[in-house]
Structure 1
Amino acid sequence: MNVYKGKITFNKEQCVLCQTCAFVCPAGAINISCVEPHKSYDFIIWHNTCTVCGNCTYFCPTGAIALSNTLAEATPQSEKYTAITANMVEYGECQKCHEPMINVPQTMLQKGFKNVSEELVSLFNLCPKCRRDHTFAKRAL
């Protein structure tokens, strides 16, 4: 008899590497480790350790982690000791200076701003230094 356990899913395009999920996970089922500083990070969810408490989904500011409620995505009990979700989260680069940076997902911009225009999106494609310089130049001129 197969008993099914819900599964935590991960969308690496939404992740900003804040590591809140790993911090709030009481079971220690989420591991984020540096592969190459300011380039890429391994993001692993150990489904055998996960208690499906939902803390990671509740506290994730971007919605990168979600709890699946469909049976097709659930992990069968027979695979509970080998099932993991593994992804590599990579830094993007500043559109102006090409320094590595974490991209701000559209969902996060929508949470913070009433109207998300193309100008706002392009502003958040700049690193914090270039964003400051751009904003200052625009106000000073």
Structure 2
Amino acid sequence: MNFLELFGRNLRRGPYTEPFPFAPAAPAPKRLRGRIVFDARICEGCLLCEKLCPSGAIRFARAPEGMTFDCWHPTCVFCGTCEFYCPTKAIHQTNDWSLAHLEAEKFALAEHGLIPSIVCAECGGKGLDTAPNVSKIRPPLSAEELAQLRARCPKCRNKFLRTRGKAS
């Protein structure tokens, strides 16, 4: 096909590009790695995602109200490492690829989360309301035991698990 035939065909059919952002975004493939979503309720606070992030987009920080999570999408390379290595799947990637923004909004394009502080139900010390790592505990915890465990600091959690099932 020569240039003139191609030019004529393109004139008859019209533009082939998507009119984004003036029309709805094209659907994304199901397995596309896009915007990161963080669920603080199931995070165990291991900080593995922060340590493994190749672009340094994920940061945890201590705050008076607990521990904050920030993922800066302009910095993220969407490699999926954080999702792959998260033991509780508190981080997952959606297929939302539409991250276009104005330059003035670049600092607003982030995922924020908070793991709140708690007062330990047993010793009264401070701790974080993180999901306990119970994947290797046998026999599995009941819902009541899980709630009791979650209301304790890490030191009291270990004590609770050591004494679990023993007669008082």
CA shift, 1:89, in A, is 1.9
In structure 1, what is the equivalent of residue 99 of structure 2?
76
Q: Does 1:20 align with 2:58?
A: no
- For 1:89-116, what per-residue CA distance to the aligned partner results, in whole angstroms no more than 9, with x for missing partners? 212232222212233527x43x334533
In structure 2, what is the equivalent of residue 45 of structure 1?
71
The share of aligned pairs that are identical, in percent, is 26
Query: What is the Cα-based RMSD across aligned positions, in Å?
Result: 3.1
- For 1:34-54, what per-residue CA distance to the aligned partner results, in whole angstroms no more than 9, with x for missing partners? 223xx5122110000111111
Residue identity in the other structure for 2:140: N
For these two proteins, the number of residue pairs brought into alignment is 134
5+ residue gaps, structure 1: none
Give the 3 Å change call, closer, same or farther, for CA 11–76 of structure 1 in structure 2. Answer: same
Q: Classify the secondary structure of the residue corresponding to 1:77.
A: coil
Q: Which has more strand, going by share of residues?
A: 1
Residues of 2 paired with 1:32 and 1:91: CA distance? 14
In structure 1, what is the equivalent of residue 8 of structure 2?
none
Greater relative contact order (Cα < 8 A, sep 6+) = 1
> Which protein shows a greater Rg?
2
Task: Give matches, 1:1-141, under 5 Å.
Answer: 1-2=20-21, 6-36=34-64, 39-69=65-95, 71=96, 74-78=97-101, 81-82=106-107, 83-105=109-131, 108-109=133-134, 111-113=135-137, 115-118=140-143, 120-124=145-149, 125-131=151-157, 132=159, 135-136=162-163, 139=166, 141=168
5+ residue gaps, structure 2: 1-19
